[in-house]
Amino acid sequence: MKRKMLLTVKGKEREWCFEVDADTKHLDEWWDDDIDVGIIENIIPEWVVDIGLLRVWCFIQDLINFNL
């Protein structure tokens, strides 16, 4: 199943993160090869955090995505 994932690439001086759509069946192989990739569970706009609705936002997003 394809999911949104965060791929982290470490350069000489900085770290770069990219949002990618990838198949979860490859996760174990990537982790075994020390590739820094993780599943994105929630996407949260900054304004939601600013007004204090982080938990409510995540709960509703999980309901919509059947993550509960």
pLDDT band at 65 (very low <50, low <70, confident <90, very high): confident
* Residue 16 tokens, joined: 């770069």
Q: What CA–CA distance (Å, rounded) separates 40 from 67?
A: 12
* CA–CA separation, 61 and 57 (whole Å): 6
Give the Cα separation of 67 and 7 in Å (integer): 21
User: pLDDT tens digits, residue range 30-43?
Assistant: 999 999 999 988 88
Q: Residue 68's pLDDT band (boundaries 50, 70, 90)?
A: low
Q: How far apart are CA 21 and CA 6, in angstroms?
A: 9
- DSSP state, 14? -
Domain assignments of the chain as residue spans, ordered by start: 2-64
| Residues 28, 59: Cα–Cα separation, whole Å | 28
The pLDDT of residue 5 is above 70: yes
Threshold 0.75, pTM exceeds = no
